[in-house]
Amino acid sequence: MNAVRPAAVAGLFYPDDPVALKSTVDDLLAQARAVAPVRRPKALIVPHAGYLYSGPVAASAYGLLAGLRGRIRRVVLLGPTHRVFVRGLALPEAERFATPLGEVALDDEGMRRLADLPHVVRSAAAHAQEHSLEVQLPFLQAVLGEFRLLPLAVGEATAAEVAAVLEAVWGGEETLIVISSDLSHFLPDAVARQVDGGTVDAILALDSHLNHEQACGATPINGLMLAAKRHGLHPVALDVRNSSDTAGDPGRVVGYAAFAFTPVAGDDQPAEEEKGTALLRLARGEIASQLGEAADPPARAGWMTPPGASFVTLTRQGELRGCIGTLEAHRPLWLDVRENALAAAFRDPRFPPLTRGELHDTRVEVSLLSPTQPIEVRSEAEALAALHPHVDGVVFEYGHHRSTFLPQVWEQLPEPREFLAYLKRKAGLPQDFWAEEVRLSRYTVDKWKEAAA
């Protein structure tokens, strides 16, 4: 393994002299188009052409990070491969990335966390000459100072595979996600503006079906939009131009756009920990009230009103005591959690109804589910290869047979073959069953569990 991946496009896409590079980046940031106030971004989409062409657009996004130096300590950076074919997403075989401004240490822990995903590979070749990731680094170094980098070169992959990677390393406020992509390529100016306008509208609508004629980084963008839906992020267009606006020929332009993805505006959008606390109180309060105990339910906040899909799981002395949930959002989240809590406690057919004497040492867990995504497979072998251990919740369907396992079940069944076998058994089928008509889909969860008494 080469310890350092050296700069490959310094002197081509941006200055190779450290002083000139710093001056260029500082000037771009200072001159960036002003935008309406934007909440702290969790993710950015930025272009990756030479700074002469797309630098002003990229700077409109990076300027939002002013004041976050020392607070953002990890950047998950995804960009498309331009020179080397990759099946899946490629991590580098390096410990640091270098630019004329210095070296950036890679996030070893994050890379280890991704190592078990079947669609994540290691490839020095995919990163060696790739500019889509490298051109972002001087901007990040200028605005963030020291941070750890988790770089992924995205090749032939699905949006769901990208989203699974993002979920595995989503982190908290210390983590920023950056997607590197240009828009349309080599169209006349008027045509490009029309095409790029449609692409911008699709991104603002979180439409995760972009193609590579709309954006060279369509795959990582689509994956981000799936994750953004799940996490309640709102896209904001910061700047949209093409190369004729900066330094190019209007007869043959490349489109550029910058976006920020932020939490939905509103004072009642809680932090993840606060959301978990409220949902756990809601679930326990409903069960306690049903048993005649005093309850302390949370106020019904606005964020609980939109439809949500949840599971409520009860454990007692380390053993399952009930688990009921909803796979598709069809009623307000507060109502879904309430009904699933009562069903897990009193109507799970595997267990007798929970008693008042059991309540005090029963732990409650609430899981919020993302929308399901189909897993396109033609055989059981393909199904086993497509599963993402410790990330996917999986739905198995065959005729009237249906079952699901939450991602938490991977802790007991860590091997895909065993996981799928027990999922089939849960559906009432033999463990070795398979048929062409089998349908699989996946989802991810946010989960919170009460501390042990």
| 208-229 pLDDT, tens digit each | 999 999 999 999 999 999 999 8
Same domain, 62 and 166: yes
407-417 pLDDT tens trace? 999 999 999 99
**Within-domain flag for 309:** yes
Domain end residue (candidates: 306, 337, 369): 369
**Within-domain flag for 247:** yes
pLDDT for the residue 268? 52
Same domain, 117 and 56: yes
Same domain, 203 and 181: yes
pLDDT for the residue 232? 85
Closest CA to 314 of 289, 283, 338: 283
Same domain, 10 and 24: yes
Structure tokens at 157: 């992959």
Name the pLDDT band for 301 (thresholds 50, 70, 90): confident
Number of domains in the chain: 3
- The rounded mean pLDDT for the chain is 92
Name the pLDDT band for 33 (thresholds 50, 70, 90): confident
Name the pLDDT band for 77 (thresholds 50, 70, 90): very high
Same domain, 25 and 94: yes
Name the pLDDT band for 267 (thresholds 50, 70, 90): very low
Same domain, 245 and 286: no
Return d(Cα 269, Cα 307) in angstroms, integer.
Answer: 15
Question: 164, 389 in Cβ contact below 8 A?
Answer: no
Q: Which domain CATH number covers 96?
A: 3.40.830.10
**Within-domain flag for 432:** yes
**Within-domain flag for 452:** no
Name the pLDDT band for 349 (thresholds 50, 70, 90): very high
Helix (H, G, I), strand (E, B) or coil at 444: coil
Helix (H, G, I), strand (E, B) or coil at 284: helix
Return d(Cα 244, Cα 255) in angstroms, integer.
Answer: 9
Name the pLDDT band for 269 (thresholds 50, 70, 90): low
Name the pLDDT band for 37 (thresholds 50, 70, 90): low
Q: Position of tokens 């994540």?
A: 120
Same domain, 250 and 393: no
Same domain, 9 and 50: yes
**Within-domain flag for 174:** yes
Q: β-strand 74-80 against 175-180: which pairing, if any? A: parallel
- Identify the H or E element spanning 437: none
Residue-wise burial string across 215-238, b where 16 or more C-beta atoms lie within 10 A, e elsewhere: bbbbbbbbbbbbbbebbebebbbb
Answer yes or no: is pLDDT of 2 > 70: no
Structure tokens at 26: 């500082």
The gap from C-alpha 18 to its chain's centroid, in whole angstroms, comes to 34
Same domain, 326 and 186: no
**Within-domain flag for 36:** yes
pLDDT for the residue 129? 96
Answer yes or no: is pLDDT of 60 > 50: yes
Q: Domain limits at 326?
A: 272-369
Same domain, 302 and 167: no
What would you measure as the largest C-alpha separation in the chain, in angstroms? 77
Residue-wise burial string across 391-407, b where 16 or more C-beta atoms lie within 10 A, e elsewhere: bbbbbbebeeeebbbbb
Same domain, 243 and 128: yes
Answer yes or no: is pLDDT of 355 > 90: yes
**Within-domain flag for 17:** yes
Same domain, 337 and 439: no
Answer yes or no: is pLDDT of 443 > 90: no
Average of per-residue pLDDT across 135-163 = 96
Structure tokens at 180: 């590197």
- Identify the H or E element spanning 113: helix 108-114
Name the pLDDT band for 307 (thresholds 50, 70, 90): confident
pLDDT for the residue 231? 87
Average of per-residue pLDDT across 17-43 = 88
Q: Which domain CATH number covers 411?
A: 3.30.1490.150
